[in-house]
Chains A and B, each alone.
Chain A
Amino acid sequence: MKSLKTQQTYRLLLGIAMAAVALLWLIPVYFMVINSFKPLKEVLFTTAAFPQSLYFGNIIRVWKGANYFRLFINSAMVTSISLFFIVLFGSMCGWRIARKTSKSAPMLLNYFILPLIVPFQAIMLPLVKTLKDIGLIDSIPGLILVYIAMASPMPIYLYYGYVRSIPGSLEESAVIDGAGVNRTFFTIIFPLLSPMTSTIIILQSLFIWNDFLLPLIVLQSDRFKTIPVGIAGQFFGQYQFQWNLGITAMMLASLPMIILYLFMQRKIVSGIVQGAVKG
C-alpha cells in the first residue's frame, strides 16, 4: 500500500517536471508571438513583457514588405507540385520494380539508393552548374525537378517494400479480366498504397516546405523565392536592427506549419514514426 502511494507521488513529480520541460520548449515561440504584436519601442525596452495593446503594424509591414503572399504561393506551389510527382513517380517505380522478376530489379533498386547515403551537399555545387547548362537555374520548375530527383528515391524504397507485402493475385485477376496495366495500377494498386502515401506526403511536405539551402542556391529572383529564403533574405537585408519586423517575419514564416501541426498533430507524428522505422 505504501509503495502504491510512493508510486503516485513519483508520478506526480514526473508530471510536474515534464510540464516544466514542455513550457521551457514553448518559451521561444511565446516570446516570438508576443513581440510580433508590439511596436519597436516596446520590443526594445519591455522585450519580455506582454504587449500593452495589440499592435498590427508589424504584420502589415512585413506582409507588404516581404511580399508575403507571393512567398506563400511560391512555397505552396513548389511543395504541392513536387509532392504530386514524388508520389506518382515513387509509387509507379516502386510498384514496377517490386513486381519485376528479371535480374534488373535489384540493380535498379540499388541505382536509386544513392540519395539515402550521399548527402545533398555532395551534389550541391555541380547541381548549380547542371541547372545553368539546361537553362533551369533561377526558376520554379528547376527547383521542383531537383526536389523530385532528390526526394523520390526514399518513396521508391518505401513503396517497394509495401508492394512486396501485398499479394500479386489481385493484380493478376484484374489483368485477366481485361483491365490494362494503367487501369490496374491506378484503380486497384494505388488506393491500396494509401497508408504509405500519407506517410510520404507528411515527411516530404515538411522537408520541402521548410528547406532552405536548395532554394537559396537555386533561386535568385525575388519573385520566385519560397518562404524560408524570402523571409531570411529580407530579414538580413533590411530588418537587421528592427527586431519588431524581424521577429514578426519569423512568426509569419512559421505560422502555416504551426497551424497545420495543431490540426494534424497525430497524423504528422505517426507519419514520422512510420518513415523513421521503415526508412
Chain B
Amino acid sequence: MKKLNTADLKIDLLYIGPIFIVYTMLFVWPLIDGLRISLTNWDGVSTTFTYVGFRNYIRMFTQDRYFLGSLGRTFQIAFFNVIFTNVLAMLFALALTTRFRANNMYRAAIFLPNVISMVVSGFIWRFMFTQIGPAVSEATGIKWLGMAWLGSPDIVVSSIVIVSVWWGLGYIMTIYIAAIQGIDSSIIEAGDIDGCSQWQSFWRIKLPSMMPVVSVGIFLNVAGSLKIFDVIYSLTGGGPGRSSEVAMLNLYREAFVNQRFGMGAAKAIVLTVIIIMVTILQRKLTEGEKS
C-alpha cells in the first residue's frame, strides 16, 4: 500500500510538478507580490522602498483626475464596442447562415482582422484615418471622410470604437454562426409551420437557444474591451492630449514612464477587481435571461 503511494507521488511530480512550479512562480507569486507592491512607493528600479499603506489607493481616487477620466473612457469604449460588435455580429451571422453563394468568402473576409495583431491594426487605421480618409475625401468630395478622426477629442473615442469593432467582430460572428448552425432545425421548421415571422422566429426560437453562446461572446468582448491597450497605444498614443487615454495606458505610463510602480500596481489591482466584477455581473445578467 505504501509502495503504491510513493509510485503515485512520483507520477504526480513528473506530470503535474513542472507546470505547478512554473505557474506558481510566474503567475501566483506575482499576483500576491502585486498586492504588497501596491502598498509601497517603489519606483521599479531602486532596491529600497517604503510602505505607505493605502495611500496609493486613496490618491488614485482623490487626487488623480486622469485616472478617473481614463476609467470612465474605458467604460465608454467598452460599452459602445460591446453593443456595436454584438448586434452587428448577430446580424451578419444571421445573414451569412442564409444560403447564398460565396458566404464562406464573406465570412473569411470579416474574420481576417482577427489574425492581425491589435497593435498593427492600430497603425493600419492610423494610416486610414490620417492619410486615406483625407485623400479619398478630396478625390470624391465626401467631406466627412476627411474629418479629424484622431485629432479631435470629441471624435477620437468613436474612431477607437470603429477600429475595435473592425478587429473583433469576426471572432464573435464566427461563434454566433456556429451557434445558429447548432440549433436543432426541426424547432425552427416547427415555428415556420406554425406561421412564425422571421422576427418572431429570431426572438422566440433562435436567440433563446443561442443564449449560452451569446453570453460567452459578450463576456469575451467585455473583458477584452476593459483591458484595451494595444490598439490605443498605436492608434492615438492616448492623444490628442490625454483625451483617449484608457485605464491600461494610464497605469502603463504610471509604472514605466512616471516610474511609480507602487501606484501602477495599485491601479492594476483596482482595474482587475473592476473587470472581475463587471464580467460576473454580465454573466449573471445574460445567463438569467436563458431561463
Residues of A near any B CB (own CB < 8 A)? 11-12, 14-15, 17-19, 21-23, 25-29, 31-32, 35, 43-44, 46-48, 89-90, 92-93, 95-97, 108, 112, 114-115, 117-131, 134, 145-146, 148-150, 152-153, 156, 181-182, 185, 206, 209-213, 217, 227-228, 231-232, 235, 243, 246-247, 249-250, 253-254, 257-258, 260-261, 265, 268-269, 272-273, 276-277, 279
The reply to whether B103 and A125 form a contact with Cβ atoms under 8 Å apart is no
The reply to whether B127 and A122 form a contact with Cβ atoms under 8 Å apart is no
Among B54-62, B148-156, B264-272, which stretch is in contact with chain A? B264-272
Cα(A74)–Cα(B189), bound, Å: 53
The reply to whether B95 and A217 form a contact with Cβ atoms under 8 Å apart is no
10 closest Cβ contacts across the A-B interface? Answer: A210-B117, A149-B26, A47-B135, A89-B19, A96-B15, A22-B109, A126-B30, A122-B272, A123-B30, A22-B106
The reply to whether A121 and B227 form a contact with Cβ atoms under 8 Å apart is yes
The reply to whether A35 and B127 form a contact with Cβ atoms under 8 Å apart is yes
The reply to whether B132 and A48 form a contact with Cβ atoms under 8 Å apart is yes
Cα(A181)–Cα(B13), bound, Å: 13
The reply to whether B23 and A112 form a contact with Cβ atoms under 8 Å apart is yes
The reply to whether A246 and B127 form a contact with Cβ atoms under 8 Å apart is yes
Given A92-B16, A114-B31, A243-B131: 7 more A-B contacts, CB < 8 Å? A119-B227, A121-B251, A148-B26, A232-B233, A254-B115, A254-B120, A257-B116
The reply to whether A92 and B23 form a contact with Cβ atoms under 8 Å apart is no
B268 to chain A: which residues have CB within 8 Å? 121-122, 124-125
Number of interface residues of B (CB under 8 A): 86
Among B64-72, B77-85, B170-178, which stretch is in contact with chain A? B170-178
With A11-B100, A18-B96, A31-B127 given, is the CB distance from A130 to B106 under 8 Å? no
Q: Give me 21 A-to-B residue pairs in the complex whose CB atoms sit less than 8 angstroms apart, sorted by A's number.
A: A22-B105, A28-B125, A29-B113, A48-B132, A93-B15, A93-B20, A118-B272, A130-B33, A149-B27, A150-B26, A206-B114, A209-B117, A212-B119, A235-B123, A246-B127, A247-B124, A247-B127, A253-B117, A253-B120, A269-B174, A273-B178
B187 within 8 Å of A by Cβ? Answer: no
- Give the number of A-B contacts (CB < 8 Å): 246
The reply to whether B175 and A122 form a contact with Cβ atoms under 8 Å apart is no
Which of B99, B119, B234 has the most chain A CB within a 10 Å cutoff? B119
With A95-B15, A272-B175, A273-B175 given, is the CB distance from A28 to B271 under 8 Å? no
